[in-house]
Structure 1
Amino acid sequence: MVFPMVMLKLADWLLYKILANSYYKAATKVRNHGFFQRNLSFKSPQYPSVTKCSLTNKVSQTLVLDIHGCLLRSKSFFPFFMLVAFEGGSILRALFLLLSCSFLWVLDFELQLRVMIFITFCGLRLKDMDNVSRAVLPKFYLENLNLNVYEVLASASNRLVFTSLPKVMVEGFLKDYLSVHTVKGTELHTIGKYYTGLVSGSGLLVKHRALKEFCGEKMPDVGIGISTLADQLFISLCKEAYVVTKEDNKSCANSIMPRDKYPKPLVFHDGRLAFLPTPLATLSMFMWFPLGIILAIFRLFVGIFLPYKLAILLGTSSGIRLKIKGQISSKKSQKNTKGVLYVCTHRTLLDPVFLSTLLGKPLTAVTYSLSKMSEFLSPIKTVRLTRDRAQDSETMQKLLSEGDLVVCPEGTTCREPYLLRFSSLFAELADEIVPVAVNTNVTMFYGTTASGLKCLDPIFFLMNPKLCYSIHILPKVPKRLTVAGGKSSHEVANYIQKQLADALGFQCTTLTRRDKYLMLAGNEGVVQDRTNK
């Protein structure tokens, strides 16, 4: 059915291009000669801009709107289908979806949506879609929220969303982050644990019909839409109606949602893509992929086999930007026979490697979980911990007696500007503690994962065309503020967490590794070789 429709649309477009100009000129002459009266011409209702909507006295009111083109600033929903295809499906599925752009432009909205649904969801597991909707999509939705529309939404007590988009792609975000009470969207057909790629028997949701069926004779108080016929039919069923105009979207400074106004803090998210995958951006990614793999292998070779100074020189020339702050010193007290304990914030698996390279000496890193591939590729010594406090304490004591040690007490990585709760075990082991504030910035791929293959973390991270590693070595913790000075291990851990957060401009939290994995992967993060450090 799709191919004949594509050919019909293409023929229609060609006829339009050939005949439209002559028809338009003829119609203009007819109009100018007075064959039609001006008062008989149809004019669509002129609804005020959403910026004109008052935010007061709406506590008890019902608000209805769509997420596509209204609540989100992005006009196209293609990037969000691409996120599902790439993160929930595979790179081949994402490639097929990208190739579909070559003919999607000749289809109308309904047929475009059906094609994107089929390519994205055909054979996709329900479990994978659930992971994407919970751990991947919320980040991109929050970054694309229209501030003006959200403020109106937040002012209403009863919030309803009607959309032609698949309900499974938007319902979780709308309910968990925006406290939307009811979400009506297109239902997808499933067989067992898989999607078929087809919509259910009811077809694509038609907003104004769904609103009539849901509300009956009772008109909602406020409706928000865009300047299309479908949306005007939709919002005309409301007592008050507003539209998101092109001018509203153009004024980015007023419509972009700042992080401090997020309805719910975004601490955890998953997925490999660090950019919104628009068609052009996705095409750039696929073109870069082969070169990125070669670049990652080169950077691995440099980090593993070359001396520190040469590794830094070649690494920076390959696009790695290093920001170093603080005194790089490892002088120990003459009375202390133990090594120095470096306490790092945890952004990627390579934090101890970069620190070791910048210090110019080999360090030992302790980790709770590490894939065998990462352990094999690591240029520094890595030792696994067992989560048994007594045994891990004994292991770390032994390692400190042999030399300097690196520990990441958060126990897992966090991508956003937050620090997770620090384990207090490290504070019981050493008197000479050096806090190290580590931060990273990537342009294309994230080098961490909670539900994907952990063995690929270093590869994806090093595939970035450009990446930045910032390391701030803070002064050694005074002895009076350590366990040896009379402080408890919890007090020391909390003090160092606060110092590192202040150095990075981050916010301290009491969230743990368990909290992260329960949210992102639906488990406690203890499955070997599939957990994220």
Structure 2
Amino acid sequence: MIYVQLRKSTTENADADGARLFDPIDTADARPEQRVVSLLEGGLLRSSSTFPYFFLVALEAGSPLRALLLLASFPIVWILTHILQCRDADIRLYAFVTFAGLRDAAVRCVARAVLPKAFLDDVHRGVHRVFATCDRRYVVTSLPRVMVESFAKSFLETEHVLGSELHVTRGGWYTGLVRGIPRGRERYRAVKELNSPDIGIGSDSFAELCKKAYIVRDHDGDGEQAKISAPPLIFHDGRLVHRPTPLWALTILLWLPFAIPLAITRILLGICLPKRVALPVEHLLGVSVRVRGRLPPRIFQPSQRGVLFVLSHRTLLDPVFISFVMGQAVAAVTYSLSRVSELFSPIRTARLTRCKDRDARSMTRLLAQGHLAVCPEGTTCRQPCLLRFSALFAELTDTIVPVSLATTMPVFHGTSARGWKCLDFLFFFMNPAVRYEMEFLEQLPPDQTCGGGGRSSHDVANHVQRLIADAMGYQCTTLTRKDKYRVLAGNDGIVTSKNPNLGL
């Protein structure tokens, strides 16, 4: 539980033995006009461990080797901090291993695209309730400020972050050296500069300066994930599904020697085996597919016009699994696909050019030859949301079948906005077990299409988006591919010949 210390006078805050009195947090009365300062680790976050966030930066902005070195340093840090009582040893050693030799731009990109999800997964709901009530909010953390600032200002709506500072060369490279770690007296001085905030959350040192102090004693009953009143997290990046604690990071490391051969085996079987045979064999290797709804009839004549499958986009393998379920090849159109993924694709793919007339001709030609799968969102989204649907598909045919898709990946994400797109399918199949759930909805009635019902293509696209969202329990948004890449990669997601790996 969390207890609140009301600092009114010395006598009111001490019993006969001089011990401080604490009241339950339920009795706290935080108001919007108040100022609040909170410690991040062990305050706003349930865990006081900083390892997961350094590990994510080392892996995403650095390399797997750097992440391995950071994991190897964990026992050393534990001995220095818990046995030898070396203050700040964890931050200094972790920071050096993580940041030395990294570019400032790469770290800021990871802090914006990857770390917010890890922080939000560990937010303490009770502490945040008090923190979010106040209009003026401050965060104190021993983590480097560059790691926390984007999350704190975007999701906690914090006015200022007091954190450690990293040394950066004039060329924008980190040396790994840290200064100004706000712990002990440094933290006391940092909070004192805020001129006695109304509420302090975190440790006993705050009680000396704040009118009220919330002190986190333990986390009983905090197992549920936090639901905070902040801007929703729709876009996030990074290969790891869960926040990497030291034990989880070690588990991933031990799994890798088995994961890579397993992934290669799954990929080769999917390429070599016939479509109707591949799915049962893949099921034996941990790739399960659950299908609901009525499938359209198969095509047996090359000249027979096909059905247009409109998919919610979860991974680049969406059309491939549609083909496996249908038992025959289903062509797919993509805005971008890495050359490696295109080479290993067991189905026919065609690239979209963002030229409406040219893309319409290409899709019409494929429909004349058989079934076609299209993802109108233009890019993947990991959260239970659907991005805005492009309306081009609605102008091509009235034979439209919406398909809702959902995936479950326990260890690795099979999508990336910043990483190498050519490795997406490999990471997907490196999971111990993966699950695809798809539901074939009813074909659109003629009166709800452009040709038969005279509806506009935008109305049809929005209607299909709502049908899929309702089937999945997802939320419709007006966000686009450009919005996603501006958040995660700092660009508009424009694919050029010089950067073919930028994609789904």
TM-score of the alignment, normalized to the shorter chain, above 0.5: yes
Query: Kindly tell me: are residues 159 and 390 of structure 1, through their superposed partners in 2, closer, same or farther at Cα, counting changes over 3 Å?
Result: same
Aligned residue in 1 for 2:308: 341
State the match for 1:208 in structure 2: 188
Partner of residue 175, structure 1: 153
Residue 172 of structure 2 is matched in structure 1 by 193
Structure 2 residue 399 is matched with structure 1 residue 426: no
**What is the identity, as a one-letter code, of the residue corresponding to 2:206?**
F
- How far the C-alpha of 1:508 sits from its partner, in A, is 0.3
Quote the Cα distance in structure 1 between the aligned partners of 2:182 and 2:32: 32
Please list every run of 5 or more consecutive structure 1 residues that lacks an aligned counterpart in the other structure. 1-38, 226-230
Q: Report the alpha carbon displacement of residue 328 of structure 1 after superposing the two structures with TM.
A: 1.7
**In structure 1, what is the Cα distance between the partners aligned to 2:140 and 2:371?**
58
8 A Cα contact 1:48 1:243, kept in partner: no
Q: Which residue of 1 aligns with 2:60?
A: 87
Instruction: Give the Cα–Cα distance (whole angstroms) in 2 for the partners of residues 262 and 399 of structure 1.
Output: 46
1:87 and 1:371 map into 2 onto residues whose CA distance is: 20
Report whether the alignment pairs 1:321 with 2:288.
yes
CA deviations 1:442-462 (Å, max 9, x no partner) are: 011001111111000000111
CA RMSD in angstroms comes to: 1.9
Q: What letter matches 1:89 in structure 2?
A: G
Matched, 1:482 2:461: no
1:49: how far off? Answer: 4.6
Q: Name the residue aligned to 1:128.
A: 106
The alignment status of 1:440 with 2:440, answered yes or no, reads no
Q: Where in structure 2 are there 5+ consecutive unaligned residues?
A: 1-13, 82-86
Deviates most, 151-160 or 373-382: 151-160
Richer in helix (by share): 1
**Aligned-partner Cα distance in 2 for 1:475–1:331:** 16
The alpha-carbon deviation at position 235 of structure 1 amounts to: 2.9
Cα deviation, residue 65, structure 1: 1.1
Alpha-carbon distance in structure 2 between the residues aligned to 1:44 and 1:464: 53
Equivalent residue, structure 1, for 2:69: 96
Preserved contact between residue 141 and residue 182 of structure 2 (Cα < 8 Å): no
Of stretches 41-50 and 175-184 in structure 1, the one that deviates more from structure 2 is 41-50
Matched with 1:21 is none
1:18 corresponds to which residue? Answer: none
Match among 204, 216, 219 for residue 244 of structure 1: 216
Map of 1:34-113 to 2, 5 A cutoff? 45-55=20-30, 58-108=31-81, 109-113=87-91
Provide the rounded CA distance (Å) in 2 between the counterparts of 1:350 and 1:337: 25
Structure 1 residue 487, shift from structure 2 partner: 0.9
- 1:256 and 2:225 are equivalent in the alignment: yes
The one-letter amino acid of 1:492's match is: V
Which is higher, the Rg of structure 1 or of structure 2? 1
> Could you tell me which residue of structure 2 aligns to residue 530 of structure 1?
501
Provide the C-alpha distance between the structure 2 equivalents of 1:262 and 1:367, rounded to a whole number of angstroms: 36
How far apart in 2 are the matches of 1:49 and 1:117? 37
Tell me if structure 1 keeps the 8 A contact 2:121–2:243: no
Cα offset, 1:152, TM superposition: 0.6
Between Structure 1 and Structure 2, how many residues are aligned? 476
Q: Which amino acid aligns with 2:53?
A: F
Which residue in 2 is equivalent to 1:504?
472
Contact 1:70–1:224 (CA under 8 A) maintained in structure 2: yes
Deviation digits for residues 206-265 of structure 1 (CA, Å, limit 9, x no counterpart) = 2111112x23xx32111111xxxxx2123321111121121xx12025x6313xx45111
The one-letter amino acid of 2:28's match is C
Give the letter for the 2:175 counterpart: T
Residues 448 and 532 of structure 1 are in contact (CA less than 8 Å); yes or no, is this contact kept in structure 2?
no
The residue aligned with 1:373 is: 340
For residues 284 and 51 of structure 1, the distance between their equivalents in structure 2, rounded to whole angstroms, comes to 39
After TM superposition, give the deviation of residue 42 of structure 1 in Å. 9.5
CA distance in 2, matches of 1:221, 1:353: 57
Q: Relative to structure 1, is the Cα distance of residues 299 and 268 closer, same or farther in structure 2, using a 3 angstrom cutoff?
A: same
Aligned-residue offset at 1:266: 1.1
Q: Which residue of 2 aligns with 1:10?
A: none
Say which is worse superposed, 92-101 or 202-211, in terms of deviation.
202-211
Report the alpha carbon displacement of residue 505 of structure 1 after superposing the two structures with TM: 0.7
User: Is residue 125–residue 222 contact of structure 2 (8 Å, CA) maintained in 1?
Assistant: no
* Contact kept in structure 2, 1:268 and 1:516, CA below 8 Å: yes
In 2, the alpha carbon distance for the partners of 1:526 and 1:293 equals: 31
What's the TM-score, normalizing by structure 2? 0.91
- Read off the aligned partner of 2:225 and give its amino acid letter: I
User: 228, 242, 245: which is aligned to 1:278?
Assistant: 245
Alpha-carbon distance, 1:371 to partner: 0.4
Corresponding position: 1:361 with 2:328 = yes
Q: How has the CA–CA distance of structure 1 residues 451 and 489 changed in structure 2, closer, same or farther, with 3 Å as cutoff? A: same
The answer for the alignment partner of 1:222 in structure 2 is 199
TM-score (norm 1): 0.86
Asked if structure 2 preserves the Cα contact closer than 8 Å seen for 1:50 and 1:244, the reply is no
State the AA in 1 paired with 2:226: M
Q: Which residue of 1 aligns with 2:5?
A: none
